[in-house]
């Protein structure tokens, strides 16, 4: 028991700490670019939203584990149970939708103007805001059943219902309601992951053709310096690959645990690692490909400039 708690705590600290910090820096950077830049780029809004959704995932998961580890179950109460699990589900959905939107926008950015991918791309910040608002409303709706069926258990017979997390329990629901919301979540995941795969396949083909043209036109000495668009495309492809890997690995392990009904500590630790890995690694993948942000010796200076620029805006209430 002590060993499993130690493993869980190690995974939690090693992923949530750097992950929250990385998402915070990514969010601050793109807020600064969006607010101070001469042109409001849609990609900055998407990255702000992705960083926020991932930070939300990490914070809620960490809160749940801390409450469980220190036996603060009574602190949550009925409202706390509903809010924690509901927002955790919503954050997961927002991460899927935003990652898909990022791949679509990046595919549209590198496409010729006459192609279908280019027409799909939102060209203004207001169009992106509309998409993000739709994501929030949609994910709020398809997770709304949790607000009714998640509860703490006081006088009820606990043997009749299954635990969800900590002291929160999932009440039995009608089969129609259960399959309706499961179908909506499955449909969301299938649609957005299919769009992700389609746009990522297009970007991979574009990068391959671009690489062949560069090798043909230039010497190898000049091919080492990729354009900002190519670096952004590579980052998006790496991000999408990580997302799909962790998503499906988490799904397989979670399905195995759910079907066998065994709360094996090792399996639970693996699912915790898979659930948090994408949210923790994604900001470092995006910043690691941005040479203007992580150039040696300039990171601290850029961060100082970001906070200096945001301080007067925050003081004015913007």
| pLDDT of residue 293 exceeding 50 | no
More confident residue, 279 or 76: 279
Could you state, in order of their start, the residue ranges of all structural domains in the chain? 1-149+169-290
Tens digits of residue pLDDT in 83-137: 888 998 999 999 999 999 988 888 877 766 545 555 555 567 788 889 999 999 9
- CB-CB neighbours of 227 under 10 Å: 11
Tens digits of residue pLDDT in 138-184: 999 998 888 888 877 654 555 545 545 556 777 777 888 888 888 88
pLDDT of res. 298: 47
Tens digits of residue pLDDT in 243-286: 989 988 888 887 776 666 566 677 777 888 888 899 999 999 88
CA separation (Å) from 36 to 28, 31, 33, 129, 132? 12, 8, 5, 18, 21
Residue with tokens 């499961």: 182
pTM: predicted TM-score of the whole model, two decimal places? 0.80
| pLDDT of residue 40 exceeding 80 | no
Instruction: List all residues 6 or more positions away from 4 whose beta carbon is below 8 Å from its beta carbon.
Output: 265, 266, 268, 269
More confident residue, 231 or 115: 231
Q: Taking all residues of the chain, what is their mean pLDDT, rounded to a whole number?
A: 76
Which among 287, 267, 297 is positioned nearest to 18, based on CA atoms? 287
More confident residue, 70 or 301: 70
Share of the chain above pLDDT 90, in %: 19
Instruction: List all residues 6 or more positions away from 95 whose beta carbon is below 8 Å from its beta carbon.
Output: 50, 53, 54, 57, 243, 278, 279
37-45 contact pairs (CB < 8 A, 24+): 40/124, 40/125, 41/125, 42/105, 42/121, 42/122, 42/123, 42/124, 42/125, 42/127, 42/128, 43/102, 43/105, 43/106, 43/109, 43/232, 45/125, 45/128, 45/129, 45/132
Which among 111, 92, 98 is positioned nearest to 47, based on CA atoms? 98
pLDDT of res. 141: 93
Beta bridge partners of 12: none
Separation of first and last alpha carbons in the chain: 49
Backbone angles phi, psi at 170, to 5 degrees: -100, 115
pLDDT of res. 153: 60
Distance CA 132, CA 53 (A): 11
- What is the dihedral sign for C-alpha 147, 20, 267, 256? positive
Distance CA 290, CA 221 (A): 21
Distance CA 64, CA 76 (A): 9
- What is the dihedral sign for C-alpha 109, 38, 26, 136? negative
Instruction: List all residues 6 or more positions away from 98 whose beta carbon is below 8 Å from its beta carbon.
Output: 46, 49, 50, 53, 132, 135
pLDDT of res. 56: 94
CA separation (Å) from 300 to 23, 84, 125, 306? 16, 35, 29, 10
CATH fold for domain 1-149+169-290? Rhopdopsin 7-helix transmembrane proteins (1.20.1070)
| pLDDT of residue 66 exceeding 60 | yes
| pLDDT of residue 48 exceeding 90 | yes
């Amino acid at each position: 028991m002590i060993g499993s708690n130690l493993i869980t705590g190690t995974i939690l600290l090693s992923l949530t700490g750097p992950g929250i910090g990385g998402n915070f820096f990514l969010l601050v950077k793109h807020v600064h670019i969006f607010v101070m830049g001469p042109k409001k780029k849609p990609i900055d809004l998407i990255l702000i939203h992705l960083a926020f959704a991932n930070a939300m995932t990490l914070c809620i998961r960490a809160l749940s584990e801390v409450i469980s580890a220190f036996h603060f179950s009574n602190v949550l109460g009925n409202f706390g149970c509903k809010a924690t699990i509901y927002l955790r589900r919503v954050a997961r959905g927002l991460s899927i939708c935003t990652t898909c939107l990022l791949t679509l926008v990046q595919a549209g950015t590198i496409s010729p103007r006459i192609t279908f991918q280019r027409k799909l791309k939102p060209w203004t910040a207001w169009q992106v805001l509309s998409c993000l608002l739709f994501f929030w409303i949609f994910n709020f709706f398809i997770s709304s059943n949790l607000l009714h069926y998640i509860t703490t258990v006081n006088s009820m017979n606990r043997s009749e219902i299954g635990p969800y997390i900590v002291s929160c329990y999932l009440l039995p629901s009608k089969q129609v309601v259960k399959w309706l919301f499961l179908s909506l979540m499955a449909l969301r995941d299938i649609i957005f992951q299919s769009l992700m795969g389609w746009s990522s396949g297009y970007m991979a083909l574009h990068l391959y053709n671009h690489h062949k043209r560069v090798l043909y036109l230039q010497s190898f000495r000049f091919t080492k310096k990729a354009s900002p668009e190519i670096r952004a495309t590579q980052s998006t492809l790496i991000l999408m690959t990580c997302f799909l890997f962790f998503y499906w690995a988490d799904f397989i392990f979670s399905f195995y645990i759910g079907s066998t009904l065994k709360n094996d500590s090792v399996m639970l630790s693996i699912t915790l690692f898979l659930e948090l890995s994408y949210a923790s690694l994604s900001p470092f993948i995006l910043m690691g490909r941005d040479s203007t942000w992580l150039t040696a010796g300039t990171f601290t200076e850029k961060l100082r400039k970001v906070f200096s620029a945001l301080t007067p805006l925050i003081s004015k209430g913007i």
